[in-house]
Structure 1
Amino acid sequence: MPTETFEFQVEARQLLQMVIHSIYSNKDVFLRELVSNASDALDKLRLEALRDDSLGADVSDLHVALEADPQARTLTVRDNGIGMSRDEVVRLIGTIANSGTATYLRELKEAGDTAATEGLIGQFGVGFYSSFMVADEVTLLTRRAGESQGTRWMSSGEGTYTVETVDDAPQGTAITLGLKPEDTEDRLHDYTSPWKLREIVKRYSDFITWPIRMATQPAPQADADAGEGADTAPGEPETLNSMKALWARSREEVTDDEYHELYKHISHDWTDPLETIRLQAEGTFEYQALLFIPAHAPQDLFLQGYKRGVQLYVKRVFIMDDCEALMPSYLRFVKGVVDAQDLSLNVSREILQQDRQIQLMHRRLAKKVLSTIKDMMSAAPDRYATFWREFGRVLKEGLLGDVENGDAILGVSSFATTHDKDEPTTLAQYVERMKDGQDHIFYLTGESRQAMESSPHMEAFQARGIEVLLLTDPVDEVWVDTAPEFDGKKFRSVAKGEVDLGTEEEKQEAGTEREKQQEEYAGLLTWMTDRLSDDVKEVRLSSRLTVSPACVVSDTHDVTPALENIYRAMGQEIPHSKRILELNPKHPLVIGLNRTHTERPGDTGLNETAELVHALALLAEGGEPPHPARFVKLMADRLERTL
């Protein structure tokens, strides 16, 4: 097949230009990314060879090789791993297949500092493109294991690349960088220098389980003076990494920097993790875990197809990436490694779902992560605040299905509250501030804080200074009906059921007054209930309103309109629940409406007024009238009469 020339996808070309024009503060990371990709290719080949005896691939000496040529100013990163087919080269290298590309590029352009920019790069995972930070030209030669022909890809990063089929490519992938002209004043970035390559590999890739080898050459004078490579004969392959798994080493032997580099290797993130978690289980079933909580949420965290789970090893042999069976869905942001001693090497995802040992690991890992978050709350409140801002929404998903850890999840959750406009509160803090005699944790769900603070449902609580949680995430509509209580206090919506606030003495006085009001308004309530029966279940007097004339509430055990919409969006049709219209007996509009009904029960304007009161109550909570066009006409007519 002849050589073909392609254009980069538009987004890939834009991203490539950003990478080339020095958005990174540390160019050394390009080698970390290429070595990491090579390591992944070796993992995939070893796993594929176990599954397919007919593959015919050589797995006797899997490794990564670095080959530097100072005279030609080239650096080659070579592996004998799984390799790529021609179609895979075009698809994976020439395009960026990610639905968040446009958003990512916009955020990248808006990032005002280098650290923020590198963080965005890390979220997107474009390690191969980092080659162009140091190279004028990049050549990729690859052959997929089991295939007879290879593919050569070449580009100078200027918007196009060439692809050709070759017959003599070895198994795996070799990436050769034509390095940019040497800066004589910048010897620290001479990527043909053995000491520089040793330094980078030791810093970033020492933990990789495959050997990273470099064929040494006679050292330049600078290297000889520095004493580098004195114990290695020229031309003899030198293994640069220790290949010792960090999770198998004692805590005292491992530095935070080493942990952070392992995290970056397995997550393809460019920023340090927020928290590192170590766990070692001994006894009848032994395993080690090294887990990380990222410092930021990936852009595709809530997209279908997001790769979740940690890496699974058996006796330090890589088995699979993204092992979902080891971590619950609501902790899908956790990255890391689990190394089990007693599993089979040919274990499959289907077997994992039923394996009792895996289920025990799943339970213990979830508990360990939640206990770490709890410790973070008290020991490092700033880091906890970052965690909750990034992952609180996904963590609350656990309240929908993980009954065993429900209390623990509630214990590490924070919520916006009327107590403090700027800082969220934990439930423990809410309970500490509860009024004497208060038996419930009150909450309100809605689309925004502003809308909820001005909601009629809040009036009695604001008047009495009773704190209310303000829940704006879609998942909040669901879990509040399933979470029974926290610290013995039940959750209660301020927009459901009847409100009964105050001391016992105040309740008795209110009860006496309510009896008088019920008698006074009985006729109006009966008439309005009948008149609005198509839209409401009942019209009654309210004890939650102090300013507004009316509000609409749901019955205690009814599904809210927002939750109905969520279920319907998921394709689940549920019966519509009529709601209750509550009237404020002290509001002039309601007093006047009652007087008119008593004195002129046949007044034709009463029907229109009843409709308008109901529509205004819906608008006040952020909803819309059942018949918007009719509402507009009625309002226009009423306004016209006032002119």
Structure 2
Amino acid sequence: MSGKVETHEFQAESRQLLELVVHSIYSNKDVFLRELISNASDALDKLRLESLRDSELEADTSDLHVALETDPGARTLTVRDNGIGMSRDEVMSLIGTIAKSGTAEFARKLKEANESQDAAASADLIGSFGVGFYSSFMVADKVTLVTRRAGERHGTRWESAGEGTYEVQTLDEAPQGTAVTLHLKPEDSEDRLFDYTDTGRLRQIVRKHSDFIPWPVRTTVERPAEDAAEGEDAAPERTVETLNSMKALWARSADEISEEEYKEFYRHVSHDWTDPLETVHTRAEGTFEYQAVLFIPSHAPLDLYQRGGHGGVHLYVRRVFIMDDCTALLPEYLRFVKGVVDAQDLSLNVSREALQQDRQIQLMHRRLVKKILSAVTSLREKDAERYRTFWREFGPAMKEGLLSDFDNRDTLLGLASFPSTHDPDEQTSLRDYVSRMKEGQEHIYFLTGESRTRLENSPHIEAFQAKGYEVLLLTDPVDEVWVEQIREFDGTPLQSIAKGQVDLDAADGSGDGEGAEKSAEDEQRDEDFAPLLGWLGTALGEDVKSVRLSSRLTTSPACVVGDAHDITPNLEKMYRAMGQELPPIKRILELNPGHPLVTGLKDAHTANAEDPALTETAELLYGMALLAEGGELADPSRFTRLLANRLAAGL
């Protein structure tokens, strides 16, 4: 005979905590099944270990598994395992955790965190408080648990409606292990869209959350009888189906896994039917253990550069799925990496749906980044063609790391490839650029802009091309930002050719250098142009900071440049597009003293400085300089009118 049914009351604060568990902590009701299957898997693990330690343990270990049993008519779902089970004392202690004293303050703080929607505060409060079993009450209005510990004769029954009381009873007989039966809420309740007695629904949840646990998760399904005669009603056949794959690829040694298995697993986790470009299989052992199989795709996802785009690293803890976009494991610039990370133990919040930031997470983050960058470095060294594919697809994202990942900045700079004037078909590394620098050249020259074609036709680049200096052509939006923060590579300064003064004669040794005395010819030229430069500075004072002669122009009459520490027009445009208003930034107008238009303007100014046509010519000159670099005119209609009038007068 079974023992007497004992009824115990939850304390008031315990009822409040249970209400929070059911209504506030979990964002997805489906995870109740993950929690129950995880508990069952742990019980199977414990039985296997216990049977190895105790050869006399009376327990059946021949077919360890988890079973899901449904009864649609009675609206029940049972999660059953034949694992270690629990004694009566363990039931009272483990499942009665929620009724322990000291929960009132926890419940109050947790409620405040949820009401304020402060996820960080909630995570700090929750810690490792184990309430997975009680997630059952999200979908059930009554839960019955029957368990018997392996090696014991009697079992225990626990039952509660999750309200004021729970019942405990000693059973004379019970199967080895634990069975949790959920009496599901009525179909017309708020959970009517979630039918947890439907085999298809259970299969979907198991494959998402519990696909890789090491024990089979089985259920019985009904299929039409194959040998039934036509038109004859035959009872359906009942067959047992295993719902999970149990193929945790990352738990195996890399030398045991074929290339095809890696590709199949990549398709499984990424839903990308092309082969990955590179695979990173790593594990860490010791005080903190984890395994990871990560993939670099062969093409960028469509949302790679969209705000709110999803990453692809799935987090598991002891083979149990936790989340599918774990942003804490990798930095934002590696968001294209797909794969799985499985840790033996991590600090999770109470719902196991979010990580708590701690030393283990930071350590794992650093190690995974190092492994991925090492794999990319190896790819560059061993397979130039595949590396070109990688950089073409993910280069702009990688360069974002130059702004945020200070620990790996040198590695990222070494990996980066850029278009340059050296070769129209191939990109170059900074190290290769430095190896080709001309004798006496002290800077790595670069120019930023919207397209390679526009940069190659920019006035700023004329003298560099004429003298054979290589220039990096930086066209990604992120280039505008990182070149402002990184001033050198391996001791060689970087210099924009659209900013500050440029003295190429000094760079190649053909001039006297900065600070040296000017030649008589140069001094005479400066003296001849001084009146024009002063007049232009006044006439264009609303638009330019100053006007000076240029050493960077060979064919264009003029260009506009920034001071050494000014932001570029492209970057200014990006800030304004993001809603950040900036004060107007005046730039410098540089004139080519050898261009006929400039010398003609000088002669006209010398002949008649009061001529009104000179002001119009100055406006046209400045407007042409803006357009030549891809800038925008403040008043396009006035510019075209002045140009049309000047063309008509010349006919």
- Into which bin does the TM-score normalised by the smaller protein fall? 0.5 to 0.7
Corresponding position of 2:198: 170
SS at match of 2:373: helix
Aligned partner (choices 299, 304, 309) of residue 307 of structure 2: 304
Q: Within 1, Cα distance between the matches of 2:419 and 2:532?
A: 39
Q: Please name the residue that 2:46 is paired with.
A: none
> Which of 577, 588, 591 is the equivalent residue of 1:580?
588
Equivalent residue, structure 1, for 2:552: 544
- Map Cα deviations across residues 579-599 of structure 1 (whole Å, 9 max, x no partner): 000000111111111111112
1:527 Cα shift?
0.9
> Using a 3 Å threshold, how does the CA distance of structure 1 residues 235 and 167 change in structure 2: closer, same or farther?
closer
Change (3 A) 1:235 1:48: closer
Q: Residues of 1 paired with 2:198 and 2:374: CA distance?
A: 49
Question: What does 1:52-131 correspond to in 2, within 5 Å?
Answer: 58-60=78-80
Contact 1:47 1:319 in 2 (8 A): no
* Distance 1:213-1:348 versus aligned 2 partners, 3 A rule: closer
TM-score (structure 1 length as normaliser): 0.66
Structure whose alpha-carbon radius of gyration is higher: 2
Q: 1:611 aligns with which of 608, 612, 619?
A: 619
Partner of residue 593, structure 1 = 601
Q: Distance in 2 between matches of 1:145 and 1:386?
A: 55
Cα displacement (A) at 1:538: 0.5
Partner of 2:272: 269
Aligned pair 1:401/2:404, yes or no?
Answer: yes
- Of residues 488-497 and 313-322 in structure 1, the stretch that sits farther from structure 2 once superposed is 313-322
Separation in structure 2 between the aligned mates of residue 168 and residue 619 of structure 1, nearest angstrom = 66
Q: 1:336 aligns with which of 334, 339, 348?
A: 339
CA drift at 1:419:
1.0
Please state how far the C-alpha of 1:42 moved relative to its aligned partner: 11
* Distance change >3 Å, CA 309–CA 546, structure 1 → 2: same
Deviation of 1:147 after TM superposition, in Å, equals 5.4
How far off its partner does 1:351 sit? 6.6
- Cα offsets for 1:574-633 (capped at 9, x unmatched): 222100000001111111111111121112211111111100100111113222111111
- The percentage of counterpart residues that share the same residue type is 58
Distance in structure 2 (CA, Å) of the matches to 1:602 and 1:463: 37
Cα-to-partner distance string for 1:505-531 (whole Å, 9 max, x where unaligned): 424599424333222211111111111
2:389 match: secondary structure: helix
Q: Which runs of 5+ in 2 are unaligned?
A: 1-27, 39-74, 83-134, 140-181, 227-236
Partner of 1:299, secondary structure, is: coil
Note if contact 2:77-2:197 (Cα within 8 Å) is conserved in structure 1.
no
Q: Secondary structure at the match of 2:548?
A: strand
Once superposed, what is the RMSD of the aligned Cα atoms?
A: 3.7
Residue 149 of structure 1: how far off its partner (Å): 3.2
Question: Displacement of 1:362 after TM fit?
Answer: 1.1
> Match of 1:531?
539
Between the aligned partners of 2:301 and 2:383, the Cα distance in structure 1 is 22
Aligned partners of 2:420 and 2:471 also within 8 Å: yes
Letter of the aligned partner of 2:582 in structure 1?
Answer: I
Instruction: Identify the residue that residue 624 of structure 1 maps to in structure 2.
Output: 632
How many residues matched?
A: 471
Distance 1:50 1:268, change over 3 A: same
1:504 paired with 2:532, answer no
The structure-2 alpha-carbon separation of the partners of 1:360 and 1:515, relative to structure 1 and needing over 3 Å to count, comes to farther
Q: Is the 8 A contact 1:310 1:321 kept in 2?
A: yes
CA distance in structure 2 between the partners assigned to 1:346 and 1:623 by the alignment = 52
Deviation at 1:418, TM superposition (A): 1.0
Aligned match of 1:287:
290
Instruction: Answer yes or no: is the 8 Å Cα contact 1:325–1:353 preserved in 2.
Output: no
Match of 2:522 in 1: 514
CA–CA distance in structure 1, aligned partners of residues 267 and 584 of structure 2? 49
CA contact (8 A) 2:77 2:196 kept: no
Measure the CA separation in 1 of the matches of 2:380 and 2:584. Answer: 41
Which residue among 434, 437, 448 is the counterpart of 2:437? Answer: 434
For the residues of structure 2 that align with 1:365 and 1:464, how far apart are their CA atoms? Answer: 45
Mapped partners of 1:434, 1:277: distance in 2: 36
Are the structure 2 counterparts of residues 45 and 612 from structure 1 closer, same or farther at C-alpha, using a change threshold of 3 Å? same
Task: For 1:298-377, list aligned pairs within 5 A.
Answer: 298-344=301-347, 346=349, 352=355, 354-377=357-380
Q: Distance in 1 between matches of 2:183 and 2:399?
A: 43
Q: Contact conserved, 1:149 with 1:168, CA < 8 A, in 2?
A: no
Aligned to 1:26: none
User: What is the deviation of 1:466?
Assistant: 0.9
CA distance in 2, matches of 1:347, 1:174: 23
Task: Check whether the contact 2:322–2:352 (CA below 8 A) recurs between aligned residues.
Answer: no
Contact map agreement 2:196 2:202 (CA 8 A) in 1: no
Q: d(CA) in 1 for partners of 2:219 and 2:385? A: 43
Counterpart of 1:379 (choices 350, 369, 382) is 382
